[in-house]
Structure 1
Amino acid sequence: MKQKAAATLLVLSLSAGLVSTVQADSASGSTATSTATSTASNTSGASSAVTSKTASTTGQALPTLTLKQAVEWAQTNNYNTRSTERDVERRRIEFKNAEKDLGNAYLDLIEGEYVGDEASWRNYNSSTLSYLASKKQALYAKDQLYFNAMKTYQSVFVAENQVKNDLEALEIAQAEEKIALAKFARGKLSEYAKNESVQARSQAQQTVEQSKTALQKARDALNFLMGQPNGSVYELVDRPIYKEPEKLDIEVHIQQLMDMNPNLWKLEDNIKTSELNVRYFDFNSGAGAYDLAKLDVDTAKEELDKGQKDFAESLRNLYATFKDNQKKYVQLEESLITAKEGLELSRKKWARGLIIELELKNSQLKVEQIERQMEELAIELNQNEYTLNKPWST
């Protein structure tokens, strides 16, 4: 009966874990999009040149696609998500069946013991652990899928920016080629220099084609994830907008995430499973096997301790990267102010005929490139912060 009392305590512990898992499930949904780097459904200014150009060729406006919709389609299309949900239901049924079996044990009046009691309790404890593990794995799979969908969605913005950069570089190369050809025709430029300019323009054209191909690949990667046909084009509207996050005590944050980390949950479950093997050990296996079972408990505890230390260190490193990227963003903001001042000065000079149009274009290009760098860094910060809150998603 002492063994039954010990098992009862374990059941209470497992039941508490079952409640905490449900609470974690709720918390997971509420924090998945609660990051300091937010997204904007309405982009400032006109739609991207690349997207607008695609729309104009069809004569119709492109369908819009939010990040939320992309994630929902990805979840519907993802086999792993459906598989983990089925596994949760399977483990729930096994858990309920084991719970019913506890009531089937009967008292042997001669021996004064519950017949079949030990096997029933062992099966119940084991099925409880399996059910808890399946729920945690389902949370883990959803967080992973969300992060993958977010990265794939945002990679389209990066690819679009690269096309814009390359198109502008081509425009500069074409202008420089035009000047070079005019100088060569007047005998003011060598044929070698002229050929260099022509080659530079040709290379710029090839680069544009390569970046357009990369953009289509990025779009098709998103289509594949969402279960949409290749070649589908959407106007993505949730462009990340950087906002300075609230102050974070990383050590407190680490302790909070310790209880939420599915990888650590698994290590904790290994300890519980090892302890069950000791508690319900079949001594017909021999004393040596019992010593090995106890050793498994010690090993599982050491693995958990190491896992916690590694997890804490990885979070500290991730937080350091996040802080570095914040500093880079501030530096880019300062560079943008300087570039805009330079552009304004170039406009005044061009209006007075002091510089050629090519110099004005270069000043404009510098501003636009910094703005795109800021957007791409905002994307990186957005992903940094998500992984900082859900490090198991990567």
Structure 2
Amino acid sequence: MKGTGRLALAAAAAAFVALAMLQPARAETVVKGYIVESSADQVKLTLEQAIKWARESSHLLKAANQNVERNAIMLQSAADELKQVTRRDNHDGEDDNGPSDAEALRAAYKRYEAAASMYEDAQKQVPLAMDQLEFQTMKAYHEAIMAADHEATDKEALDVALQEENIALAKAARGKISENDKAKAVQARMEAEKKLAESKAASQKAEDALSKLLGKKQGTAYELVDIPIYSKPKAIDIGLHIQDMTSSGSPALYKQENAVKQAMAEASFYNGTSVSEYRLKTLDVETAKMELSQAKEQLADTLKNAYLSIQQYQSQYEELLRNLQNARNELALAENKWKRGLVPGIEIKTIETKVKQWERKATELAIQQKEAEFALYKPWLL
């Protein structure tokens, strides 16, 4: 058959090259972890170990790997079919049904191209799934830290409320304060107890959510040792960063770019005679390109906003440090007065609680920074 030899050879060569490179991709789940120490009450857990456990127990990650294997088999089958059609085409005589053979070769090559595209897509989904899982684990780990901080703050508030209640009861017994003032102190203690009970439940809920992600039993208590510390944002050229993230091949735009590729393939493989049908396929190409362009614009805006937020964290942290230092100065002054008998111990306890609250707010700001920076460099997670 004339006119198809070169196409057949090119198709076969493409199939053979792809098969030579065909290796089912698997997510690498071996992560250098720290020793996890356990006690009767708590499991000492690092973020690195948490991510390792999450990868080992993730059904979505396992499904992504299985999808790679499944598509590798389908690509192998399509390549084998293309080889058979190519071999038959090369041995056909010129008196055979040329158009029918040409159509068979075209159909086989189209199936091979579709299988190759699906295999490539499946391979790309594995590292994306790993990134998503890492981000989810980090957020769950951080949420458990913040929930524990809120519980600690409420416990300290209850300690203060109990001391104030005892003082009020003692004063009321001596007729120093009214029954109404005593009732207020009792009510404040009761409200503090209620708030602590709620924060305890929220803390356990956050730990249970982390346990579920890690494949561990519910009710596990953790000592989360990787507490984020705020650091000055890295200096980057946001314009160049946006250019890099919106360039061809960026994981953030893979789906949109693949849609363009698929639409163009459908148009190029069209072998019908209907002008309107072919026009519809070209419109699909134009639509896919337009959606890709819009996605790039939206991604650029998202990256700009994320970068601005990170920059704003710095000014917030500087203000927070000033408030923290003021509270520490206030505590030092109160302690000096207390040593001289000028202020009651309850005042020291109250100011100590204020200092710890500012310290925990610093941790929360560091968590916001870490998660924002993670998303800035991997915007496909947003």
CA distance in 1 between counterparts of 2:111 and 2:216 reads: 44
Query: When the two structures are superposed, what TM-score results if normalisation uses the length of structure 1?
Result: 0.83
Q: Equivalent residue for 1:282? A: 271
Where does residue 245 of structure 1 map in the other structure?
A: 233
1:369 matches 2:353: no
Deviation at 1:376, TM superposition (A): 1.3
CA displacement 1:222-263 (0-9 Å, x = unmatched): 111111111112222222122223201112112222245445
SS in structure 2 at match of 1:241? coil
In structure 2, relative to structure 1, the CA distance for the partners of 1:247 and 1:263 (3 Å cut) is: closer
Name the residue aligned to 2:94.
Answer: 110
Distance in 1, Cα, partners of 2:121 & 2:58: 20
The amino acid that maps onto 1:63 is V
Matched, 1:91 2:71: yes
Taking the aligned partners of 1:61 and 1:126, their CA distance within structure 2 comes to 54
Q: Is contact 2:233–2:311 with CA below 8 Å preserved after alignment?
A: no
Aligned to 2:279: 291
1:269 to 229, 243, 258: 258
Q: Partners in 1 of 2:123 and 2:72 — Cα distance?
A: 9
Matching residue within 58, 68, 79 for 1:78 = 58
Query: Higher relative contact order by CA 8 Å / sep ≥ 6: 1 or 2?
Result: 1
CA distances 1:80-118 after superposition (whole Å, capped 9, x unpaired): 111111111111222233333333212344179674321
Alignment partner of 1:66 is 2:49? no
- Any conservation in 1 of the 2:253–2:292 contact (CA below 8 Å)? yes
Structure 1 residue runs without a partner (length 5+): 34-40, 43-50
Bigger radius of gyration:
2
Deviates more, 1:236-245 or 1:313-322: 236-245
Match of 1:128 in 2: 116
Query: For the residues of structure 2 that align with 1:387 and 1:145, how far apart are their CA atoms?
Result: 13
Aligned-pair CA distance for 1:166? 0.5
| Cα contact 2:41–2:221 (8 A) shared by 1 | no
- 5 Å matches for 1:187-206? 187-206=175-194
The question of whether the paired residues in 2 share the 8 Å contact of 1:152 and 1:218 is answered with: yes
RMSD of aligned residue pairs (Cα, Å): 3.2
Name the CA distance, whole Å, in 2 between partners of 1:171 and 1:231. Answer: 26
Cα distance change of structure 1 residues 313 and 294 upon mapping to structure 2, 3 Å threshold: same
Answer yes or no: is the 8 Å Cα contact 1:261–1:392 preserved in 2: no
Letter in 2 for 1:293: K
Corresponding residue of 1:142 = 130
TM-score by length of 2: 0.86
Choose from 152, 171, 185 the match for 1:164.
152
Matched-pair contact (CA < 8 Å) for 1:242–1:378: yes
**Residue 37 (structure 1) aligns with:** none
Note if contact 1:176-1:197 (Cα within 8 Å) is conserved in structure 2: yes
SS at match of 1:240: coil
Distance in 1 separating the partners of 2:324 and 2:171: 34
Task: Tell me which amino acid in the other structure corresponds to 2:73.
Answer: I
Aligned positions of 1:221-370 closer than 5 A: 221-258=209-246, 259=248, 261-283=250-272, 286-370=274-358
- Tell me the percent identity: 35
Taking the aligned partners of 1:349 and 1:102, their CA distance within structure 2 comes to: 89
Q: Secondary structure at the residue paired with 1:232? A: coil
Counterpart amino acid of residue 264 in structure 1: L
Unpaired runs of 5+ in structure 2? Answer: none
Paired with 1:111 and 1:367, the residues of 2 have a C-alpha distance of: 93
More displaced stretch, 197-206 vs 227-236: 227-236
